Amino acid sequence: MGPLAAMIVREAKIRATNFTFLFFDLFYPLLYLLVFGVGINAAMGSPALAGGVGYNAFFLAGVLGMASIGIATNSSWSFFLDRDNGIFVEMLTYPMRRSEYLLGKVLFNLAVAVGQAALTLALGAALLRIPVRWERLPLLAAVIVGGVAGWFFFFSVFALRIRRNDIFNSVINILYFALMFASSLFYPLAPLPAWFRAAALANPLTWEVDLLRYASIGLGAPRQLGWEAGAFAFFTGAGFLAAVRSLREQG
Amino acid sequence: MAAPVLEVENLVKVYERRGQPPVRALDGVSFAVPRGEIFGLLGPNGAGKTTLLKVLATLLRPSSGTARIEGCDVTVRPLEARRRIAMVLQETAGELLLSVRDNLLTFARFHGVAAAAARRRAAEVMEKFQIAAEAERKVQDLSGGMRRRVQVAKMFLADTAVLFLDEFSTGMDPILKRAVMGFLREEAARGRTIVLTTQILSEAEELCADILILNRGRQAARGDLNTLKLLSAGVADVALTFAALPPGVEAAVAALAPLRSRLDGNTVELSLKAEEARVLEIVAGLARMGRVLRVEVGGASLEDVFVELLRGR
């Protein structure tokens, strides 16, 4: 077994020690959609948004984007767990590349994210009658994988460079707030003020959610989605290189 | 002499600190260790031992100089170097959420040991380290000493060319420590090179064929035990056990200005730098102060060498 496979098995074994957490991870976006989505939809009088879709359908991509950030932060937070257990530095002496360490840490969680998205789509379609574009499932899976990986690399830079768990948590809370509300996650951007739209369009979460929305319900302009896909790929690549560099500077 | 497995040449590591003068943790250290040898790295706190191990384990990049493991430069080919090493850190390290068995198997997987061989070796090693009864318990539920056992035990799962041990016996009871020292000798006899740092000089005295004493990042002394003891020629260790500690013995010992001295119950221990005849006179003088149950006079220990080398540093 190679080091990458060894890393995936390790992560899977650690996650398997906490089934409650794993179960919640799988159902958390669906629960968010059912509670928050249905509530807002009802409160706003079931409006038809851009493209004639209902709020539940619109919000589906939002909860998937939110869930990808959640999985990514949990995975990056595990660097603190490894550090507290003393195993972090020991693992840096194992015969594996720093990039394998990073990829191994996220690969098992990518599988969880894809499973989570499949459950959310299936039950969202069945319970809320969301018009899911099933033929675009492979694209959706690719966006989910890219999204979780991109955010994991981004948050790993903070987890590796910030030595204190409490400071990391504060930084993550601030980032969460800025990323989620200045994005297309909860609402369409078109009716918003120009400065807000500009900020949201510079936000990688907007790029990811727009791609998820296109892949799940077919909403979005192909030209804008093209540059958003390129920008998110760049964000993921840059995050990966920065995280590998941060890992190399540990010890 | 066999070809060296570990070669260190003029290694320098300088820590740059913002707003403070740089610290030269390693200052031109050079040595070579042949296959199958147990090599001791000694020195006071802050001497540079852990920094040196971190450079050898590819955790830190040296500022200059080279270090090679079986010919692989740790800076140029770090992955190749890591394939040849295993390391027990000074701090307790473990997969706390996994069982003892999974800790061992996880380590084996990372080192490319085939699954069947890993399971067989894990069972053997758990027997050896007396942790077989805890095989399915999570490491987080074990005591500190047991966690340390697991940490050291897993190093025996993979056949890396070099094993680094940073204060390996921390938290081990004396019986287990003695057993582990035996395992280390067996590993060395099988051709594995072992580099250990320790503050317990008797461990180094018992285990190491070659010893490097570091002080302030530089080599203070180097050689086998006998060579090092020559550095303390003329030093004698004296121990007298009295039936009851005589009054004034403490002052009498202090007046002799020994290299070091210790009072342990009714026993007086001191190291003296003096001619043999003078040492015997001193022993006789002290013996006249009370009824003596036991007298021991010996040559310098590694501790004497260590203390003398680093005195006034």
% of chain A beyond a pLDDT of 70: 98
pLDDT band at A20 (very low <50, low <70, confident <90, very high): confident
**Does the ipTM exceed 0.90?**
no
Does B111 sit within 8 Å of A13, measured CB to CB? no
B38-49 pLDDT per residue, tens: 999 998 888 899
pLDDT over threshold 80, residue A180: yes
* Domain locations in chain A as residue ranges: 3-248
Q: How big is chain A, counted in residues? A: 251
Query: What pLDDT does B158 receive?
Result: 93
DSSP-derived letter for residue B6 is E
Does B106 sit within 8 Å of A10, measured CB to CB? yes
* Domain locations in chain B as residue ranges: 4-229, 233-310
Instruction: Please tell me if the domain spanning B4-229 has the same topology as the one spanning B233-310.
Output: no
pLDDT band at B2 (very low <50, low <70, confident <90, very high): low
Query: What pLDDT does B12 receive?
Result: 96
CATH topology assigned to domain B4-229: Rossmann fold (3.40.50)
- Which residue blocks in chain A are alpha helix, DSSP H? 3-16, 19-32, 38-43, 55-84, 87-92, 98-128, 137-161, 165-181, 194-201, 204-217, 222-248
The residue type found at B293 is L
- Residue A90, min C-alpha distance to chain B (Å): 7
pLDDT over threshold 70, residue A232: yes
Q: How far apart are CA A206 and CA A65, in angstroms?
A: 9
Average pLDDT over residues A59-68: 93
Q: How far apart are CA A72 and CA A67, in angstroms?
A: 8
Query: What pLDDT does B312 receive?
Result: 54
List beta partners, residue B87: B164
Joined tokens for residue B253: 């010992």
B176-231 pLDDT per residue, tens: 889 999 999 999 999 999 999 987 888 888 899 899 999 889 988 888 877 777 77
Identify which of A152, A61, A157 has the alpha carbon closest to the alpha carbon of residue A105.
A152
pLDDT over threshold 90, residue B112: yes
Does B87 sit within 8 Å of A90, measured CB to CB? yes
The model's pTM: 0.84
pLDDT over threshold 60, residue B145: yes
- Residue A77, min C-alpha distance to chain B (Å): 15
Does A13 sit within 8 Å of B59, measured CB to CB? no
pLDDT band at A50 (very low <50, low <70, confident <90, very high): low
Interchain CB contact of B159 with A (< 8 Å): no
B93-110 pLDDT per residue, tens: 899 999 999 999 999 999
- Between B13 and A37, residue with greater pLDDT: B13
CATH number of B233-310: 3.30.70.1150
A140-175 pLDDT per residue, tens: 999 999 999 999 999 999 999 998 999 999 999 999
B14-27 pLDDT per residue, tens: 998 888 889 999 99
Interchain CB contact of B57 with A (< 8 Å): yes
Average pLDDT over residues B240-246: 92
- Which of A35-39, A67-71, B153-157 comes out lowest in average pLDDT? A35-39
